[in-house]
Amino acid sequence: MKTNRRKFIKSTALTMAGASVFGSTTETGVFNSGVNQEFYIKEYRRLGRTGFNVSDIGCGTPMIMDENFLKSLLKRGVNYLDTAKLYQNGNNERMIGRAIKDFERESIFISTKFYITRDMSVDDIVSEARNARERLNCAYIDCLEMHNPTTVEEVRNPTFQKAVNKLKKEGVIHFCGITSHGQSWVNESDPMDVVLDAAVNEGYYDLFLLVYNYVQREKAEYILKRCKEHDIATTLMKTNPFGGTYLTARNAIDKYLEEGKEMPEWMKTIHDKFTLKQEKALSFLKRYGIEGEKQARDAAIRFVLNNPDVHSVMISFQNVADMNDYLSLSGSRFSYTDEALLQDCSEEINPLYCRHACGECEYVCPHKIPINTIMRFNHYFTAQKREKYAMEQYASLNTENAQHCLNCDAPCERACPYNVNIHVLLKVAHRNLTINKT
């Protein structure tokens, strides 16, 4: 029985998932773009009031710790790099510093970020920014972003504004921005649109990094319109809603079988659900005659690029094949086929996609579990392959974790307005993110 299940996962799920609408981003590496052509950036957009012309495809959190990869991206016309102190403990910034040495500094726009805590003084913030500039090994940082503030109060932090003014005067930074993943009810946070709306009103944030994708659009589109009114630069993350969710369950099942264990009841239920979904995916593929996940992902990116209020999409490049795949999307346009494809995918993915920057169900959890944050860590684990980082983040949660979900009747699932099957997703996320698997 176990062997059969293993065979099923390997022969049906894994190979077919290369063609599945829910397939893995790693597996996209096996697809080539159909030609041996090298793709270059075709479109540049004015980055709001910074006045800089940036590539429509930018580079955010590169998974490949290799400056040569980054140099190749720059040679092919990518000129927006987004990083953070948090990424690889500052080594991501250092790698960028090494990679840009051979390029004209003025031709590249670099943003970096760090968390601003309540107890930080102006001098603390200034010192952090100077250190970031040092790690980046350059004369200035184009944009310093406040990293994921979760409340309006944090956005209005007068200390940050004073530090920004000082840093601009010193020439350490040219602009200031903000990133938002949105709310976590547990920490009494505000939703992404409320946080960013407040940032627009503050008047001095020049650039936003926000969540926007086909499945999750209304709040972001409101913010994008406000940015346009104020000429604020807009960059995007989490633009592909189709990566990660299916993998969440599939990987967990696969690992279970690899370890030769009998699946617990709750996992069998997931297994059956996904078997059904794979059958549906087959008919989907027949309908479109396409390469599945890669096509859905490409359509999802074309969808956001089709919005003229978007300036650049931050891509987490994970392998060398990704470079050509993503660069081929530069300057491309959203089509009727894309629309039909995304509609189909959305129907499939809806119950499996815990919306980024959401958290609307968290208030009902008796254990105050940060559901949306845990699902974001799981996204890092499954879709972005940052397994170690995701597990560390989960281990350092200062709240209860999803261990409680194993024996709960899940009022959160009933509270979800999008009918997400969050109970099983949380169980699988807990297993993925826990070092000693249960």
Binding residues for ligand SF4, rule: CB under 6 A, are: 354-355, 358-361, 365, 367, 369, 371-372, 402, 404-405, 408, 410-412, 416, 418, 420, 422-423, 426
Task: Give least dist CB 243 to ligand SF4, A.
Answer: 16
Characterize the bridge pairing of strands 173-179 and 141-146: parallel
Tell me whether residue 116 or residue 361 sits nearer to ligand SF4 (CB atom). 361
Q: What pairs with residue 60 in β-bridges?
A: 82
In the beta sheet, which residues pair with residue 211? Answer: 237
Is-contact 94 137, C-beta < 8 A?
A: yes
Torsion sign, CA atoms 206, 210, 214, 220: negative
**Do residues 269 and 425 lie in contact, with contact meaning Cβ atoms separated by under 8 Å?**
no
Residue placing its CB nearer to ligand SF4 in the complex, 9 or 354: 354
Report yes or no: 235 and 260 within 8 Å, Cβ to Cβ.
no
Phi, then psi, of 312 in degrees rounded to 5? -155, 145
In angstroms, what is the minimal distance from the CB of 151 to ligand SF4? 18
Name which of 354, 415, 408 is nearest 379 in CA terms.
354
Cβ distance to ligand SF4 smaller for residue 54 or 361: 361
Cα separation, 264 vs 431, in Å, equals: 12
Give the nearer residue to ligand SF4 in terms of CB position, either 85 or 181: 181
How many of the other CB atoms lie within 10 Å of CB of 286? 9
**Nearest distance, CB of residue 430 and ligand SF4, angstroms:** 9
Token reading at 49: 């009031």
Whichever of 99 and 422 has its CB closer to ligand SF4, that residue is 422
Q: How far is the CB of 416 from ligand SF4 (least distance, A)?
A: 3
- Shortest distance (Å) from residue 193 CB to ligand SF4: 14
Q: What 3-state DSSP class applies to 287?
A: helix
- Which of 14/364 has CB closer to ligand SF4? 364
Compute the least distance from the CB of residue 356 to ligand SF4, in Å. 9
